[in-house]
Structure 1
Amino acid sequence: MKIKHTILLVAFILCAGILKAQQPENILAAVGTPPNPKVQVSWNRYNDHAAITDICKKLAAAHPNLVKLESMGKSFKGKELWVMTITDSKVGSGDKKPAMYIDGNIHSNEIQGSEFALYTAWYLAEMYASGNKAIMSLLADKTFYIAPTINPDARDNFIHQANTAHSPRTGLIPIDNDRDGTTNEDGFDDLDNDGQIVMMRRKSVTGRYKVDPTDNRRMILVSGEEKGEYELLGSEGIDNDGDGFVNEDGEGAYDPNRDWGWNWQPNYIQGGAYKYPFSIPENRAIVDFVMKHPNIAAAQSYHNNGGMILRGPGALEDLDTYNALDIRVYDALGKKGEEMLPGYKYLVVYKDLYSVFGGELDWFYGGRGIYTFSNELWTGYSMYNKTDGEDSQTQLYTFDKDLLMKDAFVDWHPFKHPTYGDIEIGGFKKTYTRLHPGFLLESDAHRNMAFSVYHAYNTPKLSVGEIEVKDIGGLTQVTAIINNERMIPTHSSQDVKNNIETPDIISLTGGTVVAGMIVTNRDMNFTVEQNRDPANIKVQNIPGNSFVTVRWLVKGGSKFTVNVSSKKGGLASKSN
């Protein structure tokens, strides 16, 4: 018993030493990092919906003046669709500030989008709490709406069930893919119960594959008259429904990124489309949230993979929607993104990838006039920081061996298959090829966070500049300049063209307004009068990095106040 007590005492002393080493006074914070975060999160792993919920709730509890947590609605299976509102609530109401909307994980196997969105929320809150002036200024001016996962049902399926890196890509509403009258009866089968769905191979005299002599994990296609040793049989599985096919009818088959009400097409034209636009409950909840928050001026959706900063249009048929003025804004943001995200390329969906009808990206811009990017996270460039062969199969094997200690591969091992007989099972785990290895996850999360912050920073920032008051004989002429100090206008050209959002209102108080006008050329005294409600001048747009000039003719008064109200530009006020 004495020995046992001694061991416990030693353990206590060691633990006490460890705890002391973790105290703030014992830590030298790296630059650009919260020095002593209230919410401790490890950013080298992936979180299921329960863990995401826990992190969101902890952030809201630890930073009540910054983070508000609410649910946009429920998923098909009843999970909460969490969204965090992040802003300095002591400096104005969040719904009156220009806002950035961020979501991730619309495709269920593209899970790191949730970690990137969560990291953004965590970083903003913790850096504000640490006294970082740049973040404090940002959250005084802007609002962030961050929805970590918008496909939580299938996310949990990917994390907790045996899957490949590519399944399930979709949601979990049951669909009969093979049209045999039943759903979900022939999905993947974890034959050896190791939690991984990898590949099946068997020896065959007619096989077209052989083992790579430089790496016995890899199968390579033979050429010419060379004889192969193996045939590949696809992913692990059996023919559950006896129709002669394996793995063709898993859980869900609709694509939630083909469900949006902009250039939507039915399934026979756009594979993956569901019943009608916004027929998927998760997307319907997002649309309702966005419509209730007209202050959203910028948006970011996180996908994987390939290292891309994508903008629309998704299809050639929609090319005219993206006009030159808006493309200038997109180009400026996208090119900056290429600098901030090594290995990423700024691309256009339809031109550089493929056609997408009914995509989230296009609805946000086309339907709401919001400047929106979709980042395809993870690029092979990050493996060795070089572009040569960045997507090659060879690099996947060497990187796993050199830097991951072969943790990404399930070694080939024998199995008796009920249909194929003696086979071998092996291959890359589901957490490789599309997803970040742990040690690279936080680095890329930080860079993508910074790009989103840059985007949000460049949403409109309005101020009232010069106010000129001039006596013109019986009346007072008040002229005011309204500045937009950022790149993004208060209304995109798509917004102006389609009258999506209400005009900006520039108001004057302090006297009886008898006339109000927009000044189109101050030097030449050219104006356009607004005949109705002259005290509240309606302006279609305040351009980015520019200004508008307005004027009133007023009876009485000498002290005037100019107020500006813009849905996407926020509020501004000044008195003479």
Structure 2
Amino acid sequence: MSNCWRLVSKLLALSLLTCQPHPIPFINFPARQPSFSLYLFPKKFPCMRKKLIALLCGLLPLLAAEAQNDYSNYQQQTNRIQALSKQYPQLASVKSIARTAGNKDAWMITIGAGNTTSKPAIAIVGGVEGNHLLGTELAIGFAEDLLKGSNTDSIKALLSKTTFYVFPNMSPDATEQYFAKLKYERQGNATSTDDDRDGKNDEDGYDDLDGNGKITWIRVESPLGDYKLHPDDPRVLIKTDASKGEKGKYLLLAEGIDNDKDNQFNEDGEGGVWFNKNFTYKHPSFTQGAGEFAVSEKETRALADQLFDLFNVYALISFSSNNNLSTPIAYSAPAASQRIVAGYQEADAKANTLVSDLYNKITGMKEAPKTTAAGGDFLSWGYYHYARYSYSTPGWFVPKVKPDTAKKEKALSVEDPTANYLRWAAQQGITNTFTEWKPVQHPDFAGRTVEAGGLDPFVLINPPFKLVPDIVKKHTDFVLKLAAYQPELDILNVKTEKVGNGLTRITLDVANKGILASHTKLGERSYWIKRIQVKVNTGGNQSVISGRKNQLLNSLEGLSSQQLTWLVKGTGKITIEAGSPTTGIVKTDINL
């Protein structure tokens, strides 16, 4: 029993010893914790009764936190999100930007002080891939940790000049499959689709052949098989290499049967359109999960529309298998110079490297597997079509395991993620993540040896939940450090010079004190992104004789400045203002 629950027990025992108890229903405690009727002081002790109620109410957040020992389902996520706006009404607001085909809300949390749209902003997106539950925990956990520290001077200062938009779960239909009666890795939402284009929707899904409530694999003995047993771990199957003359012994298929008898297995089941394949950059049309056309889904369109309305967003951070934080995207001059740009611009690639170094230093994720975005993905859309700094990470990976010399283990002779995971899990004392192979009857392979088993769903990409709090803390630290890199304008080196005839020459530098440029190089080309506007606000007897009264600066590189000068006629005070949504606005008063 946890310390909080021990305290509650002592309080209840005190009430029982002190006075006659009155059992009344009071709190719906989390299902995973012990359940009991709460005894309160009778009405003839109102003061003590109120104190006990107040104390227990104060313990509720702690009890809820301690109750969580697994990933949050949709309702738990919703409760956590709504609690933030109630607990921090001056800093956090919550709204739904869409209802999915599965009738679930895609939530948005806005965190900041004062006028949030007037400050540079970072957007954080979880649930980019439906089987990546960690991404949602990272997004919600960031919001919770940020607001939890909002009474500290450092966070107060941060929220006074930076806004955070958090979209915790953009795949709520898919992530809920983790908690369903039948557990399997699902990417698509609840939109009904015809993935095999045979005129029928969702007719060939998974089948739980061994009845254990989760979809793993089936292996079928066959002389035509292209899989063989791993030489170091017979639980694992690896692909054969025909170029080396290797012969396989098994066919390896996802657990299920050929329901529609088209010689394909589980190719058209529930789980329609994938959020991370439904965006506009290189949309992989006519492939499973891509949707009938780009941005076809309510949640995809809602997020894109919301972000396009948020002109102050200068960077996106998303959590998915796409990863340009552990290993930055390299600059390729031919790709970057194509008419339809297919590669990062050189300055943006350098910024990616800079941010990647920061990320790896804080999180220790440098050795995470390299990935290449496949198209239609949110990471690519964020840079190529939204024209902002766009970063993505899975947040965790199974570390490459060294042999346990005490057990006389040898290094794996064939590298394989499943074999590596099983060794890592054994060293960590993690159990119940592998289903032992056992024979099953299969209607499509009558009279042949068929076994169901293999690695359980979700475990390769989602860490054991006990590791999640530390992962959330590291990624929160990273986001806060990244926010310190944001573009930030200042007006420096202001000089005035009387030149006669009531004229004053004004010279100053508009500077970007931030490490990141005010706009990406692609952002400089976009008509949708607002530039840095510099305005000279004059009074009735004042006029600008030379220099533009209102002018636009295309961008400012990090730690750079641009000198401007004007010749102004008149006396008194004028105000010069400079800013854009992604940099914030600064003003200075000048006496002529």
Equivalent position of 1:193 in the other structure = 211
> What are structure 1's unaligned runs of at least 5 residues?
1-7, 24-35, 518-528
Q: Report the residue type matching 2:477 in the other structure.
A: A
Q: Report the residue type matching 1:133 in the other structure.
A: D
Q: State whether residues 343 and 382 of structure 1, in contact with CA within 8 Å, keep that contact through their aligned partners in structure 2.
A: no
> Is 1:425 paired with 2:442?
no
Which of 438, 452, 474 is the matching residue for 2:465? 438
Q: State whether residues 208 and 215 of structure 2, in contact with CA within 8 Å, keep that contact through their aligned partners in structure 1.
A: yes
Which of 290, 314, 318 is the matching residue for 2:307? 290
Matched position secondary structure for 1:157? helix
Residue 385 to residue 565, structure 1, CA distance change in 2 (3 Å): farther
2: CA distance, partners of 1:43 / 1:79: 22
Q: Report the residue type matching 1:467 in the other structure.
A: V
Equivalent position of 1:333 in the other structure = 355
Give 1:571 deviation, angstroms.
Answer: 1.6
Matched position secondary structure for 2:440? strand
Matched position secondary structure for 2:262? coil
1: CA distance, partners of 2:200 / 2:237: 35
Matched position secondary structure for 1:73? strand
Matched position secondary structure for 2:458? coil
Equivalent position of 1:515 in the other structure = 544
> Is 1:256 paired with 2:275?
yes
1:313-348 CA-to-partner distances (Å, cap 9, x unmatched) read 99998533432222222221122222223233599x
Which of 161, 164, 174 is the matching residue for 1:141? 161
> Is 1:505 paired with 2:505?
no
1:148-195 CA-to-partner distances (Å, cap 9, x unmatched) read 11111122134325344xx32233322222333211111111223322
Alignment RMSD: 3.8
> What are structure 2's unaligned runs of at least 5 residues?
1-7, 17-33, 39-51, 53-60, 405-410
Which of 545, 567, 579 is the matching residue for 1:553? 567
Q: State whether residues 329 and 349 of structure 2, in contact with CA within 8 Å, keep that contact through their aligned partners in structure 1.
A: no
Q: State whether residues 100 and 189 of structure 2, in contact with CA within 8 Å, keep that contact through their aligned partners in structure 1.
A: no
Q: Report the residue type matching 1:494 in the other structure.
A: L
Q: State whether residues 495 and 506 of structure 2, in contact with CA within 8 Å, keep that contact through their aligned partners in structure 1.
A: yes
Equivalent position of 1:157 in the other structure = 177
Equivalent position of 1:324 in the other structure = 346
Please give the residue correspondences for 1:244-393 in structure 2 after superposition, counting only pairs within 5 Å: 244-264=263-283, 266-267=285-286, 272-304=289-321, 309=326, 319-320=336-337, 321=341, 322-344=344-366, 353-354=371-372, 356-381=374-399, 392-393=417-418
Residue 225 to residue 265, structure 1, CA distance change in 2 (3 Å): closer
1:30-80 CA-to-partner distances (Å, cap 9, x unmatched) read xxxxxx989837775312222111110011111111111011122223321
Which of 119, 122, 138 is the matching residue for 1:100? 122
Which of 505, 515, 518 is the matching residue for 1:487? 515
2: CA distance, partners of 1:222 / 1:73: 46
Matched position secondary structure for 1:550? strand
Please give the residue correspondences for 1:27-106 in structure 2 after superposition, counting only pairs within 5 Å: 40=65, 45-89=70-114, 93-106=115-128
Equivalent position of 1:243 in the other structure = 262
2: CA distance, partners of 1:143 / 1:80: 22
Matched position secondary structure for 1:478? strand
1: CA distance, partners of 2:328 / 2:378: 11
Equivalent position of 2:147 in the other structure = 125
2: CA distance, partners of 1:226 / 1:464: 69
Q: State whether residues 325 and 391 of structure 2, in contact with CA within 8 Å, keep that contact through their aligned partners in structure 1.
A: no
Between stretches 504-513 and 464-473, larger displacement belongs to 504-513
Please give the residue correspondences for 1:455-494 in structure 2 after superposition, counting only pairs within 5 Å: 455-473=482-500, 474-494=502-522
1: CA distance, partners of 2:393 / 2:570: 55
Percent identity, aligned pairs only? 25
Residue 112 to residue 370, structure 1, CA distance change in 2 (3 Å): same
Equivalent position of 1:574 in the other structure = 588
1: CA distance, partners of 2:83 / 2:528: 37
2: CA distance, partners of 1:470 / 1:246: 80
Residue 181 to residue 250, structure 1, CA distance change in 2 (3 Å): same
1:415-468 CA-to-partner distances (Å, cap 9, x unmatched) read 333444564332222131121122222222222232222323212122223332
Q: Report the residue type matching 2:102 in the other structure.
A: K
Matched position secondary structure for 1:560? strand
Matched position secondary structure for 1:121? helix
Q: State whether residues 98 and 105 of structure 2, in contact with CA within 8 Å, keep that contact through their aligned partners in structure 1.
A: yes
1: CA distance, partners of 2:318 / 2:354: 18
Q: Report the residue type matching 2:567 in the other structure.
A: L
Matched position secondary structure for 2:463? coil
Equivalent position of 2:58 in the other structure = none
2: CA distance, partners of 1:483 / 1:391: 51
2: CA distance, partners of 1:157 / 1:87: 33
1:464-489 CA-to-partner distances (Å, cap 9, x unmatched) read 23332221112122223222211122
Equivalent position of 1:3 in the other structure = none
1: CA distance, partners of 2:64 / 2:491: 39
Residue 15 to residue 101, structure 1, CA distance change in 2 (3 Å): farther
Equivalent position of 1:172 in the other structure = 190
1:377-408 CA-to-partner distances (Å, cap 9, x unmatched) read 3222276799x878643321122222144221
Q: Report the residue type matching 1:176 in the other structure.
A: D
Residue 48 to residue 480, structure 1, CA distance change in 2 (3 Å): same
Q: State whether residues 462 and 484 of structure 1, in contact with CA within 8 Å, keep that contact through their aligned partners in structure 2.
A: yes
Question: TM-score by structure 1 length?
Answer: 0.80
Matched position secondary structure for 2:441? strand
2: CA distance, partners of 1:391 / 1:220: 7
1: CA distance, partners of 2:279 / 2:223: 49
Residue 475 to residue 39, structure 1, CA distance change in 2 (3 Å): farther
1: CA distance, partners of 2:533 / 2:245: 76
